[in-house]
Structure 1
Amino acid sequence: MPLTNNPKVSKVLLQLTWIIGGIGFWNAFNSIGSGDVETATQWISGWAIGGVGLLSFIRHAVFHRSDAVRMGWDYGQRNDFQLEVGFANLAWGVVAIVGIFQGWDTETLGALVLLVGIYMLQAAVLHLLELKEVKNPRYGSKLANLAYAICTFWFAIKALS
């Protein structure tokens, strides 16, 4: 089985994504605990939005067949929905990284975090709704997506307050 179809590739990419996002959230929560909203927003933007966005692009778009097989969505052909999601991930990932390097202020980065939070909250709700219809639901990934969405949304509100 070529790498592009092997679900293990997308599983490893997903695990790396959660590690990168976890680093961002861990440090952001530590910064918020110290009252440093600016640093927290930079951690979220750089790692949980930028790093996660870039890795998610690779998983959803470059290894789209691997990811489709992993999720049980393999139709035996290219799934343009997978690519579209990957392109969205790439867009906000690149913008977050550019924003960090350009020294964007907390409110500007907070607006980007809010954009991702809104998107992810909607995606999480869709994933939760599909639990009724799936034979073998993966509750862990659904709850992880919801937690990511809520935390991202919460940090956006902190950055914009």
Structure 2
Amino acid sequence: MLMIATYVVGAVGAFIGFATLQSKPPSLTWAVLLAVGAAGVLSFVRHSILHRSDAARMGWTSAGRNNFQIEVGLANLAWGVVALLAALLGWGLRAEATTLLVFGCYLAGVSLMLVTTPSADRTRPWRQVVGMGAYAVVLLWLGFAGMAAS
């Protein structure tokens, strides 16, 4: 359920970003609040606080605490908090675009890693990998477009 909420806030944020980037003046505030800020915080909760159920969703077996998962969650929290601060404190379009680029680069890197993982070691369904890669492209496009508009 939390994964679906992450997808929904991310998609709504991206949709808003495509619309508000064309406005005068261009803005990514709501896009960043949702697509990076809310998605980052929700991902933190999923990976770090609810790590056992998240591991099960990904097909991992973990009897105890998985520090790698918690570390990934903390990274999500870091860019989520920076995105929230950039939007709420009015740091401007370039700072907002930067948060989109950071999250997009991370997701693109993870997508490439998953695509190049030997088939015997794959635990993620292709639909998740393709969805992650597509979201990475959207975030990168919005980030670069935001930089160009600033």
Q: Give the TM-score taking structure 2 as reference length.
A: 0.90
Number of matched pairs: 148
Does the C-alpha gap of structure 1 residues 37 and 45 become closer, same or farther in structure 2, counting only changes over 3 Å?
farther
Is 2:70 aligned against 1:118? Answer: no
The code of the aligned residue for 1:31 comes to T
From the two aligned structures, give the one with the greater helix fraction: 1
* TM superposition shift of 1:113: 1.5
Of 38, 58, 67, the match for 2:26: 38
Does the C-alpha gap of structure 1 residues 35 and 126 become closer, same or farther in structure 2, counting only changes over 3 Å?
same
Q: Give the TM-score taking structure 1 as reference length.
A: 0.84
Report the counterpart of residue 8 of structure 2 in structure 1: 19
* 1:113-135 per-position Cα deviation (integer Å, ceiling 9, x unaligned): 11111111101111222362357
Q: Is the 8 A contact 1:37 1:159 kept in 2?
A: no
Is 2:121 aligned against 1:151? Answer: no
The code of the aligned residue for 2:14 comes to F
Does the C-alpha gap of structure 1 residues 135 and 85 become closer, same or farther in structure 2, counting only changes over 3 Å?
closer
The code of the aligned residue for 1:141 comes to Q
**Which aligned segments of 4 or more residues in structure 1 are displaced greater than 6 angstroms?**
none
Of 87, 100, 103, the match for 1:100: 87
* TM superposition shift of 1:105: 0.8
* TM superposition shift of 1:46: 0.7
Does the C-alpha gap of structure 1 residues 88 and 37 become closer, same or farther in structure 2, counting only changes over 3 Å?
farther
The code of the aligned residue for 2:95 comes to T
SS at the partner of 1:130? Answer: coil
Does the C-alpha gap of structure 1 residues 160 and 37 become closer, same or farther in structure 2, counting only changes over 3 Å?
farther
User: Taking every aligned residue pair, what percent have the same amino acid on both sides?
Assistant: 32
Report the counterpart of residue 6 of structure 1 in structure 2: none
Q: Cα RMSD between the aligned structures?
A: 1.8
Q: Is the 8 A contact 1:131 1:137 kept in 2?
A: no
Report the counterpart of residue 4 of structure 1 in structure 2: none
The code of the aligned residue for 2:26 comes to E
